[in-house]
Chains A and B, each alone.
Chain A
Amino acid sequence: SAVISQKPSRDICQRGTSLTIQCQVDSQVTMMFWYRQQPGQSLTLIATANQGSEATYESGFVIDKFPISRPNLTFSTLTVSNMSPEDSSIYLCSVARSISNEQFFGPGTRLTVL
Chain B
Amino acid sequence: KQEVTQIPAALSVPEGENLVLNCSFTDSAIYNLQWFRQDPGKGLTSLLLIQSSQREQTSGRLNASLDKSSGRSTLYIAASQPGDSATYLCAVNFGNEKLTFGTGTRLTIIP
Q: Give A residues with C-beta under 8 Å from B.
A: 1, 31, 33, 41-45, 48, 58, 90, 92, 94, 96, 100-108, 110
Contacts and interface: CB of A to CB of B under 8 A. Distances in A.
5 contacts: A43-B44, A94-B44, A100-B49, A100-B51, A105-B44
A31 B98 CA distance: 10
B105 to A, nearest CB: 11
B97 A105 contact: no
Nearest to B96: A48
B46 interface: yes
A100 B31 CA distance: 10
Contacts, number: 54
A103 B43 contact: no
Given A101-B31, A105-B44, A42 B101 contact: yes
Contacts of B28: none
Nearest to A44: B101
